[in-house]
């Protein structure tokens, strides 16, 4: 009898510990929850950006939707977590949706966040109702090399050493120079560069290296939900290449902004918000 009681107590203790671990599960991102509604929208920012990049955009939806805005671990001041990979971060978002019982969410992702939106819709169709891909491609590396093949294993040591070894001042200058080619609204450059400066350099280098080695061109064939793809104007000049990039994502609605650069939500705000709103409210 005493043995049975001890075993019962042990089982209860293990169950309690398991529940505690689940409740305190660490996801590879920070989440800000706003709005109210039974329907959910998950906003994923791009590389090295904070969730604040979506502040204006999500205001439109906070009355009727619960909005989950992510900032990835290691980016924009959020503490780093282990060795990051594109795939692990995707799995972390999927776990979050399942654990929080969010249901089928609308995923809105910019840049690398758009990559996660496509991957999630393909790998976890039961978790996604719609996706909005904002200036992201299934395979960025193929724009430079049409014959690109994913490398296994992928050696990121050169990039890690270079990025990690830079002085803050030099890194900041490099980011500002690069951002001048990514956002036409120059008033945003200081903020965006600041987010990069607050990012963990190791995470910055590893995740960028891994993303450049990611090819979703075949995977997107698994996207079953409605998909809106909003691209910057320069991509319209290479429509045939865009058709190849998104060729396997049947039914994708590809639209091109009328002005601006990579940060469409800043550079062509009215157009962007109109496209997004009509698609989400359908």
CB atoms within 10 A of CB 149: 10
Question: Mean pLDDT across the stretch 124-149?
Answer: 97
Per the CB < 8 A criterion, the answer to whether 44 and 70 are in contact is yes
Separation CA 195–CA 75 (nearest Å): 7
Closest CA to 130 of 3, 227, 272, 251: 227
CB atoms within 10 A of CB 84: 24
Residue 15: pLDDT over 60:
no
Does residue 14 form part of some domain?
no
pLDDT 10s digits, 242-275: 999 999 999 899 999 999 999 999 999 999 999 9
**Checking DSSP bridges between strand 128-134 and strand 65-72, what pairing results, if any?**
unpaired
Residue 32 has phi, psi (to 5 degrees) of -115, 125
Does residue 136 form part of some domain?
yes
Does residue 4 form part of some domain?
no
Token couple for 93? 């978002």
CATH number at residue 108: 3.40.50.1820
Does residue 236 form part of some domain?
yes
Number of domains the chain is built from: 1
Does residue 16 form part of some domain?
no
Burial class (CB in 10 A: 0-12, 13-18, 19+), 31: middle
Report the pLDDT value the prediction gives residue 18, as an integer from 0 to 100.
32
Does residue 84 form part of some domain?
yes
Does residue 61 form part of some domain?
yes
pLDDT 10s digits, 47-87: 999 999 999 999 999 999 999 999 999 999 999 999 999 99
Does residue 11 form part of some domain?
no
pLDDT 10s digits, 97-125: 999 999 999 999 999 999 999 999 999 99
Percent of the chain, pLDDT > 70?
91
Residue 33: pLDDT over 50:
yes
Local confidence band at 24 (pLDDT 50, 70, 90 cut-offs): low
Separation CA 217–CA 118 (nearest Å): 10
Per the CB < 8 A criterion, the answer to whether 56 and 30 are in contact is no
Question: Mean pLDDT across the stretch 184-191?
Answer: 98
Residue 85 domain boundaries: 27-280
């Amino acid at each position: 009898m005493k043995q049975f009681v001890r075993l019962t107590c042990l089982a209860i203790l293990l169950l309690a510990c398991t529940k505690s671990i689940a409740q305190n599960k660490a996801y590879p991102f920070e989440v800000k929850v706003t709005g109210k509604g039974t329907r959910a929208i998950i906003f994923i920012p791009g590389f090295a950006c904070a969730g604040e990049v979506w502040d204006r955009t999500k205001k439109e939806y906070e009355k009727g939707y619960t909005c989950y805005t992510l900032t990835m671990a290691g980016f924009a001041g959020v503490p780093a977590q282990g060795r990051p990979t594109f795939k692990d971060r995707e799995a972390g978002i999927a776990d979050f949706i399942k654990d929080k019982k969010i249901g089928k969410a609308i995923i809105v992702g910019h840049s690398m966040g758009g990559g996660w939106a496509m991957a999630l819709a393909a790998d976890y169709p039961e978790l996604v109702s719609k996706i909005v891909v904002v200036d992201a491609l299934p395979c960025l590396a193929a724009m430079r090399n049409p014959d690109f093949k994913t490398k296994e294993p992928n050696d990121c040591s050169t990039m890690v050493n270079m990025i990690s070894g830079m002085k803050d001042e030099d890194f900041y200058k490099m980011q500002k120079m690069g951002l001048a080619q990514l956002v036409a609204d120059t008033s945003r450059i200081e903020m965006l560069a600041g987010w990069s400066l607050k990012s963990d350099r190791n995470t910055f280098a590893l995740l960028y290296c891994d993303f450049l080695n990611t090819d979703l061109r075949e995977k997107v064939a698994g996207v079953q939900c409605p998909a809106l793809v909003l691209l910057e104007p320069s991509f319209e000049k290479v429509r045939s290449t865009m058709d190849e990039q998104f060729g396997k994502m049947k039914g994708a609605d590809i639209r091109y902004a009328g002005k601006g650069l990579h940060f469409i939500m800043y550079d062509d705000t009215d157009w962007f918000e109109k496209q997004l709103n009509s698609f989400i409210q359908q």
